[in-house]
Amino acid sequence: MVTVERIVDLPPASLTTLVAESERSGLRFVRRLTAEWASGTNRFDRPGEALYAARINGEIVGACGLNVDPYTAEGRVGRVRHLYVLEAYRRHGVGRQLVAEVIGAARGSFDRLRLRTANPEAARLYESLGFAPCAGEADCTHALDLRVTR
């Protein structure tokens, strides 16, 4: 059973398995997440921001964050950051639960969520959760409008 929890303290070794596996795949963003947390550069602690971890049997098997989008001057735009799920747990709903938690946390603080991915499988996940491909937006491949229309 997967549990998703908000992380307010990130011990240095807690994402070791995620960092190692992601780097074997040529990805550096999980290490960047841990380095930025350790340095204080990004602790997902500004208004509206959050960092989530997915656990199975106590082990962290995935992570995903929500930041104020640093790539736009528009107000109330959040950014989905650093989604990573261990390969053994992919296609079991872990990433979906993490992103759903981020979307829920973003409501009320952000009117729009943006992200960038080069991974076709991740793109399909985001699109299944309501994100639409972005054309012509710098530093963005997908966006989700959170504004309630009546």
Per-residue pLDDT tens digits for 6-34: 999 999 799 999 999 999 999 999 999 99
Residue with tokens 């950014």: 79
Q: Residue 136 — very low, low, confident or very high, per pLDDT cuts 50/70/90?
A: confident
Per-residue pLDDT tens digits for 67-108: 999 999 888 999 999 999 999 999 999 999 999 999 999 999
pLDDT at position 149 over 70: no
In this prediction, residue 19 carries a pLDDT of: 96
* Domain 2-145: CATH class, spelled out: alpha beta
What are the structural domain ranges in the chain? 2-145
Q: Residue 62 — very low, low, confident or very high, per pLDDT cuts 50/70/90?
A: very high
Q: Which residues of 79-103 are buried (b: 16+ CB within 10 A; e: fewer)?
A: bbbbbbbbeebbeeebbbbbbebbb
| pLDDT mean across residues, the chain | 94
Which string of DSSP letters, residue by residue, matches 68-83?
E-TT---TTEEEEEEE
Mean pLDDT of 121-145: 94
- For residue 144, what are the contacts with CB-CB under 8 A and spacing of at least 6? 103, 112, 113, 126, 129, 130, 131, 132
Q: Count Cα neighbours of 84 within 13 Å in the Cβ-side half-sphere.
A: 22
In this prediction, residue 135 carries a pLDDT of: 84
The Cα 40–Cα 46 span in angstroms is 12
